[in-house]
Amino acid sequence: MELEDIIGYHFKNRELLTTALTHSSYANERKSQHIQYNERLEFLGDAVLSIVVSDYIFKHMPELPEGELTKLRASLVCEKSLYVFAGQIDLGKYLLLSKGERHNGGADRPSILSDAFEALIAAIYLDGGLEPAAKHILNFVIPAIKSSKKKQVKDYKTTLQEIIQKNPGERLEYVLVSESGPDHNKHFVFEVHLNSNVIGRGGGKSKKEAEQQAAREALELMGY
């Protein structure tokens, strides 16, 4: 199937894939055939998605506190993000929907596509285990995190600089406080100073990241 080529996973049990792509409207339209649809798979896929995303961000973002990890995970597993992920593989094209549902735009409805994306995760998990399911999920999640990081990098320091510039004479400076760890796993801590007063402190795997976290803390303390 074309979708298998797109996602880079080929099913041993093709029935799992078919079920993942079957919406309840399609099954209801063919009640006499007792067709399986994807709601139970969606339930399982939601759990697999959550554990894979949690594991990844926990291991790869040691600088984030629990509250920030929770926020990031929520942004990655929400309907809006899953709808975007589904769009990247044109998932709506492969869904089995009733004639009425397809006619009414069901193939592009966020709730239907996000549910089908979770069902597809579960189908891969049941067919091949956690490793291929995690690989599939991270194909979408890692680029989304990188894109989000780029936006944040632009935001925190730029935003802080713009605020400070409104007051002529104020001087902003980033100061390296500590540097630790081996070359392949460095950890930097920076303070951001306003006229020699510390207004924020942050850590990260790179100097840029640590400066961003310091700027973020400063913005939070300033009420932004």
Q: Can you read off the two tokens belonging to residue 71? A: 């926020």
Q: Residue 188, SS3? A: strand
83 CB neighbour count, 10 Å cutoff: 20
Q: Tokens 């998990």 belong to which residue?
A: 125
- Calculated CA dihedral for residues 21, 24, 25, 30, nearest 10 degrees: 90
Residue 198 half-sphere exposure toward CB, CA atoms < 13 A:
10
Q: How far is CA 54 from CA 43, 48, 79, in A?
A: 17, 10, 17
Q: Is the Cβ–Cβ distance between 81 and 75 less than 8 Å?
A: yes
Q: Is the Cβ–Cβ distance between 210 and 202 less than 8 Å?
A: yes
90 is catalytic: no
21 CB neighbour count, 10 Å cutoff: 22
> Which residues touch 166 (CB under 8 Å, ≥6 apart)?
none
46 is catalytic: yes
Helices marked H in 21-104:
24-29, 39-60, 66-77, 79-88, 99-103
Point out the catalytic residue in the list 42, 101, 115, 118.
118
Residues labelled catalytic: 46, 118
